[in-house]
Copies of this chain bind each other. A is one copy, B any other.
Amino acid sequence: MLHRVSIKTRSRVEFQNITRAVQEVVDSSRVENGVCYVFVPHTTAAVTLNEQADPSVVEDIAEKLDALVPQHGGYHHSEGNSPAHIKASLFGSSVMVPVDGGRLVLGTWQGIFFCEFDGPRSRSVLVKILPDSR
């Protein structure tokens, strides 16, 4: 009931569109109606919904986050990736998307993005479908 989707990121900061992979989990679950829950088991990455039509949107999001939470800035944590931890909590570790007729109910422009803030790394997201009770 808990499906793992593997992700490989190639940059320090990267928004990877995982909409198709999540829809495939919905397909394999054969659930017609319910909610799809996507969870990130990492502390320097996140998941968000945003526009997938124009890739410059997530580019703008990533750049603005870098400006708000700069790479260097007197952090205590010795690993040097405190900015990634901060961004992870700002964006959050999970999203929920309605499922109707076996399809993710996304707005016209919405896609599901895995947000890498401390890559490149091998990552995973966990996907669970909560079917409507009958």
State how many angstroms separate the Cβ of A82 from the closest Cβ of chain B.
4
Residue in B closest to A38 when the chains form the complex, CB atoms: B96
B-contacting 9-mer, from A5-13, A17-25, A125-133:
A125-133
Which residues of chain A from 85 to 134 have any CB-CB distance to chain B below 8 Å in the complex?
A: 85-86, 88-98, 100, 105-107, 109-110, 126, 128, 130-133
- B64 and A69 form a contact (CB under 8 A): yes
**Total chain A interface residues with beta-carbon distance under 8 A:** 56
Question: Which residues from B are CB-within-8-Å of A96?
Answer: 37, 39, 94, 96
Residue ranges of A at the interface with B (Cβ–Cβ < 8 Å): 1-2, 33, 35, 37, 39-43, 48-51, 54, 56-57, 59-61, 64-65, 68-69, 73, 75-79, 82, 85-86, 88-98, 100, 105-107, 109-110, 126, 128, 130-133
The contact sample of 22 A-B pairs, CB cut-off 8 A, is: A1-B33, A1-B132, A2-B33, A2-B100, A2-B105, A41-B110, A43-B49, A48-B92, A49-B93, A50-B85, A54-B78, A56-B75, A57-B82, A60-B76, A60-B85, A61-B82, A61-B85, A61-B89, A64-B69, A89-B91, A91-B92, A133-B133
